[in-house]
Every structure is written in structure tokens, then in C-alpha cells.
Structure 1
Amino acid sequence: MRAFQVTSHDAPPSLVDIAKPEPGPGEVRIKIKACALNFGDLLMIKGTYQATPPVPFTLGMEVAGVVDALGPDTNGPEVGSDVLVFGGSGGLADYGVYPAESIVPLPNGMSYEDAAAFPVAYGTSHVALDHRARLQPGENLLVLGAAGGVGLAAVELGKLMGANVIACARGADKLKVAQAAGADHLIDATAADIRAEVKALGGADVVYDPVGGDQFKAAFRACNPEARLLPLGFASGEVPQIPANHLLVKNLTVIGLYWGGYLSFKPEVLTGSMRTLFGWYGEGKLKPHVSHALPLAQAADAYELLRSRKSTGKVVVTLD
């Protein structure tokens, strides 16, 4: 079967032929139909992600497809069922094998592309805003990187949760995407004084930041007393250093979140969150934004869209 693999951290990933995997006890094999890309994949390629598998490995965290086979003594979804799984890796291939307990049936009417684009963006944003930051109706939510995968989901969910959403993104085109997702106020990160603009809007009560760098510094200075900051990633390439003395002055709280980490110590947080999110999807309140869908043969081009920040929302690779 085909697989888009990292064979060395010093060379670009490539499409290779490998054996079709066989499911063992407690495992399910999926015929993969769609796989969403993530910024973490780019770090895996370089070997700097916190959960990088040993080489060689197949890229692709978020998978949607059809159950193809069950391993011995496995109580899983029926063969032929449409399912979703966050596998961490292995999704950019014709087939993948995953633990049966991690498989989630797709809601009725959800497409494979929507499903693949769903768990990381919406799951991260919902757990961050609800479980970790306890976002309240009427609070000012500042979302940095608001046109990216997790950022756009945070805009949509923040609005749904009753917040006043301030979206910060690069350029008018990306801001239009954030506005369509429900943003109340727009800030162009390439032209504006982020701190001044946020302060003029009443300051930030919650900061959702997958960017880091100078944008985090500006957002930090625009926080209201008792604000909560969520540093979720560092797309800028710069991990911010937080001055602890400034935290004291305004009684600020910095909250870490690694969404996938809950799988190992408190999975009920993720399953409860996904149940809520699927309910909202079924009610038509959520609509994943996929700016590009490319076939597996163009996986390298799909990653370049992500790397060059030419995409909005999610980039998905489709498989026949």
C-alpha cells in the first residue's frame, strides 16, 4: 500500500510502498478516506515534536475512513462502519491499524473530509476554552492565529459559548474567514498595534494563542486583571518567556494544554468534549472549514500550503 513517510529527519518525507498492516488483538484496521494535516506534523518531520515516533514512520494524526477488518478477540465497530480516530501518526496511507477503544463512529451525515478536520481543531479549542480556561459568556476572548486550524475553531466555539471574540490574523483575506466564523472584532497582525487595539476593545479576559513570539507578548500586555492565557503552540517559531512578576501584578493565570495528553491520564475529558462537539455539529452549529483538499500523491504540496501559511482552517489529504 502507499504511505507518506518520514525516513530521515534530514530528508523530506516521501511516498513509499509498504506492506498492508494486519490488526492484532484489540485493534481495528481502517481503509483511510481522508487525513487532516497539523502543524505538529511539520515538527515531526524535523524530529522536534513532543510525540515524534522513531523513523521510519507515516505522517498523519487525524483519520476518517471505513472499518476494514477487526483483529482477533476484538469488540469494535462493525466492518463497513464509517469512523474517526486520532491516531497521532499513520494517517497518510491507504490503511491504518488503531486500538479499538480509540475509534469513534461518525455522526450521521458527516463527510470524511469534515471528520478528518474535526478532532484536533475543535477538540483542542473546546477543551482549552471550556475545561481549562472556563470561558464565560460576555468575556473578551482574544484569538491569535485566528484563520488557522485551531484558531478558526476557537473563534467559532468562542462565539457559540457567548464570548465577545477578537480575532487576530495576517491580512484582510484571513480576517474575512475569521469574521465568517463569528468574530466580533478583527485585528490585522501585519499592520496593527495588537496591544493598543485589544485595550481599546476593553482588554482580553482569555487569550488563545497558537502563535507565540511577539503576538503573545502584545496579548500578554493587553490582558485584564485575572485574565487566563492559553499558550497552545508556537507557529511563529519563538517560545515566549513569561515574566512571572507581571503575572503577580494583574493576577494572571497561564494555562498549559496538550490536548492529546489527556488520552493517557484522563480520556473522559476528551470523550465528553467530543460528545458535546458532535451534538453541536448535528444541530448545524459547527461547520469545519477545509480550505484545501488534495490527493495523497500531492501530500508534499499539502504540507507546503501549511508551512507557507497559504491555507485557512484545515488542509486535508484524500485517499481513493
Structure 2
Amino acid sequence: MKACLCKSFGPPSSLVIEEVETPAPGAGKVTVRVKACGLNFFDTLIIRNKYQFKPELPFSPGAEFAGVIEACGDGVSGFQPGDRVMGYMCWGAAREVVVVREGDLVKLPDEVAFDIAAGLSVTYGTTLHAFRDRADLKPGETVAVLGASGGVGQAAVEIAALMGAKVIACASSEEKLTFARSLGADLTVDYSRQNLKEALKELTDGKGVDVVYDPVGGELSEQALRATAWEGRFLVIGFASGDIPKIPLNLPLLKGCDIRGVFWGDALTRDPEGHRQNMAQLLEWVREGRLKPHVHGVYPLEDIAVALEEIAARKVRGKVIVRP
């Protein structure tokens, strides 16, 4: 089978496509023929050895996938060959065939395309976990989404709107904000031209926002925290800016607000049933046509370096999919 391999840490151009042995499933594991693999920003980091997970070389990038089961190992009871599935693995999905644990898979309805399913686990899974499990988001509350046109930012705008929140999309250009409005944002802030704290306060009549969704970090984090409402919730999603901010702890004291970490990758192993429920909700929304994930582009496996360069250059709007 063909696989994209990171054999030495470096830029996307250092990745190679090679033939490797097709794996067989062991006990409790399943072999899946990959029809689509979703790429994320962290894939640009893991191949440079700059991510929190550090796999041994060689490895394949790609953490989320959708496909068809080819074989099941001993003890597998919930799936059978021919089943359509989607799943998540920390890395290793950018290849024609993967072997994963039975618990890493979710059955995929016939109505949901492989390309869409391959882009649901990470960004949409993270976001639903953030809003439902960590923020306890209620209909009518106001949510500020930083980096609103990026992968998780796009998901945050869509899901917050689906959950009945008023969404303020925050991004660095009018082009990005136009995209966010097309996803359901009610209001927008261009933080390349406006002070984020002042703009959010003005848009909420001085009250502040109930929930901040921050995948950006850097200097924007403190500005957004200063714009939270009394008993607001500040969600720490990630640090796409590359800068982990140092927050003055007097701010949550004075505002009676919470700073809540969102570590989806660990949460799904600690609460697998909660993860399955969230995935079921996402798939239901897709089936109903209420959630329509935007696919920026679909690339053959041979062009995965091009796809990752697009992500690294912040040129994508929505999900990037590779088809092995």
C-alpha cells in the first residue's frame, strides 16, 4: 500500500510517498481502507517535531480519517467488514490502509460523504466538546470566536450558532470576516484594525461576552479575557500565533470568570462515551443539513506537501482533505 512518510523532521517538502507493507489487525483492532484523510494545522508542526506528540520516525501525518472496514481482529464485536466508519488517531492516517482500535471508530451513516466525515473529528469534535462539556453554553449567550476563519474557528462559528448563541466572529481581515458571516456569524471584529477588548465591549453594550473561544493565543488572549462578562468562560483552545500568553490572575478574580482548558485529545480517551455522543450529534446535524462543513480543497496523496504548505501559510478556508 502507499503511505506518506515523515522519515526526517522538516518542512512538508521533506515528506515522501512510499510503498509499505499492508498491516493486519491484531486482537481488538480493525483494518480500514482510507477513503479520505483530514489534515490540520498541527500536522504542519508534528512533521517538524514541534508538536506536543512526538512519534518515532518514520510515521505518517494525518489524525482523522473515513473509510471502509476491510478486516476485524479477534474480539471485535461492534463492527464488520464493509462497514463505513470515521475515526481519529493521533497520527498515521495519511496512507491507504490503517489499523486502529475498535474504540477509535464511529459508524458512518450512508448519507454522510467520506470527505465530510474525515474533517469532523478534530475541529468539530474539539469545538462541540468545548461548548457543551467545558463552557456549558446556553442558548442566547454571546460567544466571541478568535481566528474565526481558521479550522477550529470555522467550526466554532457554526456550532455556536447551532446551539443558539449570538456569535461575534473575530479575525484579521475583511475577507476572513466575510467568510465567517457566511457561516452564521452575527457580528464581526477585525482585530488588525480594532482593539479587540473595546470592540467586544461596544458590541455587547458594555456587558462583555459570555464565552471566549481562543485558538490563537498571543496578545489577543488578554484583550479577550478583559472583554468577558461577569461569570464568563474563557476557553483555551490553542496557540496558533505561536505565543503562549501569561495572563494576570487578577482578571478572573475581578470578573468572577473562569479560564477553562480544552484538551480534546485527552478528553476522548478519558470519556469515550461522551466523545461518541458528541460525534453522534455532529453526524445528526450533518444528516439534517444543519451543519455543512466547508471543504477548502481535496488533494491526492501525492500532493499532501502542497496541501500542508497551504495550511501553514494560513491560506485555507475550512477543511483540507487528502484522498489516498
Give the shorter-chain TM-score range: over 0.9
Deviation, 1:127, is 0.8
CA contact (8 A) 2:225 2:251 kept: no
**Could you tell me which amino acid in structure 2 is paired with residue 239 of structure 1?**
I
Alignment partner, residue 122 of structure 2: 120
What does residue range 202-281 of structure 1 map to in structure 2 within 5 Å?
202=204, 203-281=208-286
Residue 57 of structure 1: SS of its match in structure 2?
coil
CA contact (8 A) 1:21 1:97 kept: yes
CA contact (8 A) 1:70 1:76 kept: no
Residue 285 of structure 1: SS of its match in structure 2?
coil
Q: Where does the alignment leave 5 or more consecutive residues of structure 2 unmatched?
A: none
Which shows bigger deviation, 236-245 or 214-223?
214-223
Deviation, 1:195, is 1.5
Q: Whole-Å Cα distance in 2 between the matches of residues 151 and 157 of structure 1?
A: 10
Which of 276, 286, 290 in structure 1 is aligned with 2:291?
Answer: 286
Alignment partner, residue 147 of structure 1: 149
**Could you tell me which amino acid in structure 2 is paired with residue 244 of structure 1?**
L
Residue 29 of structure 1: SS of its match in structure 2?
strand
Alignment partner, residue 302 of structure 1: 307
Question: Please, what is the CA RMSD of the aligned residues?
Answer: 1.4
**Percent of pairs identical after alignment?**
42
Pairing 1:42–2:44 present: yes
Alignment partner, residue 16 of structure 1: 18
Q: Whole-Å Cα distance in 2 between the matches of residues 148 and 211 of structure 1?
A: 10
Deviations 1:59-101 (Å, cap 9, x if unpaired)? Answer: 1100011111222343242212211011111110011101112
Deviations 1:94-145 (Å, cap 9, x if unpaired)? Answer: 1110111221111231111000011111111111011100111221100011
Deviation, 1:19, is 1.3
Deviation, 1:190, is 2.2
Q: Whole-Å Cα distance in 2 between the matches of residues 121 and 227 of structure 1?
A: 23
Alignment partner, residue 7 of structure 2: 7
CA contact (8 A) 1:22 1:29 kept: yes
Which of 162, 181, 187 in structure 1 is aligned with 2:189?
Answer: 187
**Could you tell me which amino acid in structure 1 is paired with residue 177 of structure 2?**
L
Pairing 1:158–2:160 present: yes
Residue 74 of structure 1: SS of its match in structure 2?
coil
- What TM-score results when the alignment is normalised by the length of structure 1? 0.96
Alignment partner, residue 29 of structure 1: 31
Give the count of matched residue pairs: 319
Q: Whole-Å Cα distance in 1 between the matches of residues 46 and 52 of structure 2?
A: 8
Deviation, 1:160, is 1.1
Q: Whole-Å Cα distance in 1 between the matches of residues 288 and 127 of structure 2?
A: 19
- What TM-score results when the alignment is normalised by the length of structure 2? 0.94
Deviation, 1:192, is 2.0
**Could you tell me which amino acid in structure 2 is paired with residue 209 of structure 1?**
D
CA contact (8 A) 1:28 1:76 kept: no
Deviation, 1:162, is 1.2
Which of 294, 312, 322 in structure 2 is aligned with 1:317?
Answer: 322
Q: Where does the alignment leave 5 or more consecutive residues of structure 1 unmatched?
A: none
Deviations 1:293-313 (Å, cap 9, x if unpaired)? Answer: 111110000001110000011
Q: Whole-Å Cα distance in 1 between the matches of residues 9 and 31 of structure 2?
A: 28
